[in-house]
């Protein structure tokens, strides 16, 4: 059992160490590319280096792309329609960090094999307890297969939080443009171009669908289905009803932004009320024992060494 724990710690240490090294090496380049993409909307091509290195990198990329395409073709034949729909919903809620459900499933398989196969080839032939190693291989394979799904869950939570945070300012700005006499579609377009984020991206996609022939009602229904946020879905429902009934959008958005800010204040109060309960267990198990040792420790030592009589 101790060997298994040491092996897990070793794998985690080397993975973290490799990630830290890569992040440190490419930190400046990544920061530069992020700034260029933020201010200019495109990334600059890096300076040309050694042609031999470029050829090697190009060959590796070509080989990787060839085998990746072969894998996607194989999975495209074997992946069922229901599984594609489930994976597409997960990717949609997370903001599509992968191109398609086929690519995501192939990444799961590659990650699972990359974690488990080294143990199969390196440790299993030398191990005395084969059953324990097989259990380890199976566990790591399942872990590698499930980690991307956990990643999508984290991305989904972060995306919903970013959308809920951006909603008040976004709809306030849209409301100001509507009161200035601008139409709803044009106001959404202008605000989405100025304010970057997942909320603006979703509205830009909705406006593109409207340009391709969808009605505003259908496009807003699709938008509400794409974003898994209760407060955002209630706002889109109110906008759809206002559009059907012919109510002024400026008045509706003004009331909605007030309600959004009230909901955020109530959520902050709720989190503040939960803080003492969440602090109880760390205080009981970590803070109070340390305080008791510091305060009562000298008294206990004194009683043990000299007794009650002094």
Question: For the segment 111-166, what is each residue's pLDDT rounded down to a tens digit?
Answer: 888 888 888 888 888 878 888 888 888 998 898 889 989 998 898 889 988 998 88
Q: Which pLDDT does position 44 carry in this prediction?
A: 46
Q: Which pLDDT does position 33 carry in this prediction?
A: 63
Q: Which pLDDT does position 275 carry in this prediction?
A: 85
DSSP code of residue 98: S
- State CA 13 to chain mean position distance: 23
Q: Which pLDDT does position 184 carry in this prediction?
A: 86
Q: Which pLDDT does position 270 carry in this prediction?
A: 87
Taking the C-alpha atoms of residue 95 and residue 268, their distance in angstroms, rounded to an integer, is: 26
Q: Which pLDDT does position 31 carry in this prediction?
A: 61
Q: Which pLDDT does position 251 carry in this prediction?
A: 81
Ranges of residues in the chain whose predicted pLDDT is under 70: 1-58, 307-310
Report residue 150 as tokens: 């956990």
Identify whether the C-beta of residue 17 lies closer than 8 Å to the C-beta of residue 11: no
């Amino acid at each position: 059992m101790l060997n298994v724990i040491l092996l897990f710690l070793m794998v985690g240490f080397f993975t973290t160490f490799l990630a830290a090294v890569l992040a440190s090496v490419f930190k400046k380049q990544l920061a530069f590319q992020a700034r260029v993409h933020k201010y200019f909307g495109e990334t600059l091509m890096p300076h040309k280096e050694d042609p031999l290195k470029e050829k090697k990198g190009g060959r590796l990329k070509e080989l990787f792309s060839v085998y990746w395409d072969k894998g996607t073709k194989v999975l495209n034949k074997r992946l069922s329609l229901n599984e594609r729909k489930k994976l597409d919903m997960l990717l949609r809620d997370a903001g599509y960090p992968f191109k398609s459900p086929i690519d995501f499933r192939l990444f799961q398989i590659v990650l699972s094999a990359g974690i488990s196969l080294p143990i199969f080839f390196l440790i299993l032939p030398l191990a005395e307890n084969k059953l324990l190693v097989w259990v380890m291989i199976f566990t790591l394979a399942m872990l590698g297969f499930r980690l991307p799904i956990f990643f999508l869950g984290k991305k989904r939570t972060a995306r919903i939080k970013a959308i809920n945070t951006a909603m008040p300012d976004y709809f306030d700005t849209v409301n100001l443009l509507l009161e200035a006499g601008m139409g709803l579609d044009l106001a959404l377009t202008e605000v989405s171009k100025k304010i970057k984020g997942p909320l603006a991206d979703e509205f830009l996609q909705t406006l593109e669908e409207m340009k391709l022939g969808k009605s505003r009602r259908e496009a807003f229904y699709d938008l509400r289905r794409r974003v898994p946020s209760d407060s955002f879905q209630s706002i889109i429902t109110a906008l759809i009803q206002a559009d059907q009934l012919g109510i002024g959008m400026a008045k509706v958005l003004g009331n909605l932004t007030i309600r959004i800010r009230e909901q955020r204040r109530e959520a902050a109060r709720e989190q503040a009320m939960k803080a003492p309960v969440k602090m109880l267990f760390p205080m009981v198990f970590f803070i109070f024992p340390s305080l008791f040792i510091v305060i009562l420790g000298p008294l206990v030592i004194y009683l043990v060494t000299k007794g009650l009589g002094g």
